[in-house]
Structure 1
Amino acid sequence: MKTLILTALLAAVAAPAAFAGAKCEAHPKDKWIKEADFKQKLEKDGYQIKKFKVDGNCYEIYGKNKEGKKVEIYFDTVSGKAVKSEIED
């Protein structure tokens, strides 16, 4: 029983760390690229955006890249550079 409780506790603590978002630099909101403009740029670059959201100080997308692979990417809100990405193999 102790092993089961310990395993459950470790899983609960480790899970949020495994799925932690990116750490983007904080910028004043008036300096951010407008969401609509950034979405349009990404789509022009070949991304198919399923979900676009603000996560802390990052823009985050879920969708597909131009190769059709599933992606989860965090972008800096001022430069538009990718800060963290996960691409399905």
Structure 2
Amino acid sequence: MKKLLAIALMASFASTAFAAAQCPAQPKDKWQKEADFKKQLQGQGYQIKKFKVSGNCYEIYGKNKDGKKVEIYFDPVSGKPVKSDIAD
């Protein structure tokens, strides 16, 4: 029984740890241009180490204006964050 509980807990943690952000599917011609969006984020104090398209989202890895490591998913049309992970 303990073994079964441990397996269930590990599976639960694994599924939450790898859950991706959900951005609504929108036509690519409505997305903000990557270069413009990066400049906008840099203007807000972000240091972008990696920028990529993840599903229907823009995703960045880098640091925020406070120097904390971040991983943030953004809606590529509105530019609003939909999911973020900020290291302490």
The normalised TM-score by structure 2 is 0.85
Equivalent residue number for residue 40 of structure 2? 41
In the TM superposition, residue 13 of structure 1 has moved relative to its aligned partner by: 6.4
Match of 2:21 in 1: 22
Structure 1 residues without counterparts, runs of 5 or longer? none
| CA-to-aligned-CA distance 1:44-75 (integer Å, 9 cap, x gap) | 11000011010100000000000000001000
Distance (Å, rounded) in 2 between the aligned partners of 1:66 and 1:14: 30
Give the match for residue 11 of structure 1: 10
Q: Which runs of 4+ in 1 moved over 6 A?
A: 3-6
- Who is 1:66 aligned against? 65
Q: TM-score under structure 1 normalisation?
A: 0.84
CA distance in 2, matches of 1:26, 1:88: 29
Q: Which amino acid aligns with 1:80?
A: G
Q: Which residue of 2 aligns with 1:78?
A: 77
Residue 17 (structure 1) shift: 3.0
The offset of 1:20, in angstroms, is 1.2
Q: Any unmatched runs of 5+ in structure 2?
A: none
**Residues matched between the structures, number:** 88
| 1:21 CA displacement | 1.1
For 2:45, give the aligned amino acid. Answer: G
AA aligned to 1:67 is: D
Query: What SS does structure 2 have at the residue aligned with 1:30?
Result: helix
